[in-house]
Amino acid sequence: MLILPKKLAMSLTCNQLLHKHAQVWREATVHPFLEQCKLGTVQPEQFNTWLSQDYLFVIDFTRMVARLLAVAPLKHFDVILSGLGALGDELNWFEVKAAERSLALNIGKQLTCQIYCDFMYSLAAMPYPVQATAFWAIEFAYNQGWQMPGTMPEPYTEFAARWGNPGFTEYVKLLEKQADEVLQDASVTIEHQAEEAFVKVAKLEKDFWQMAFYAAQ
């Protein structure tokens, strides 16, 4: 009887990561900061901290996606390029939202934001399946985080709709499909690296919410 190598019998998938690390993922996507946005009780300093630091994060995230494009297979270009285009629009949108709140964006990164940005930069040294997994995880965290609390009151409705809308959900599903595709042929070592990157993203997402939530204290 032919016995297939273990790698050929089963490959790591994004869905497996979500189930295996359900608690750490929940902590990344369910947070009092988001709940208070839903209740309309989040403090201006908390929300403004999140907005200004997230703007700085998105700048480095855009650079991360550009580096990802440099090593991605050609068949993944369309989805990644659509994400890059949306990120350009998102940065402009952040600037408008900051201006509405009279927020300066030429500020330094807080430590939590800097650590996250450093992690994204470090991904360039990782194999493409690891980068693709992290890319999906970052986008999915925002998709779920802003979607799961449910309808949010003004002025937070627009923010929740930006990442919780059906179009963004479909985009995240495409990222998941691409990550699963390249993980299928990845070595056990690369699978392990992808899993570590997923867990790291989840922990950094939680830390980012924490940073904003405790801004008023």
Mean pLDDT along residues 46-73:
98
pLDDT tens for 159-188 read: 999 999 999 999 999 999 999 999 999 999
Question: Per-residue pLDDT for 75 more than 60?
Answer: yes
- Name, in order, each residue with C-beta under 8 angstroms of 133's C-beta and a sequence gap of 6 or more: 14, 17, 179, 183, 194, 197, 198
**Domain assignments of the chain as residue spans, ordered by start:** 13-213
pLDDT tens for 109-131 read: 999 999 999 999 999 999 999 99
Mean pLDDT along residues 151-155:
93
Confidence of residue 150 (pLDDT cuts 50, 70, 90): confident
Q: How far apart are CA 101 and CA 97, in angstroms?
A: 7
47: tokens are 């929300």
Question: Per-residue pLDDT for 3 more than 80?
Answer: no
Please give the pLDDT value at position 118.
98
Report domain 13-213's class.
Answer: mainly alpha
Confidence of residue 7 (pLDDT cuts 50, 70, 90): low
∠ Cα 205 155 43 (to 5°): 60
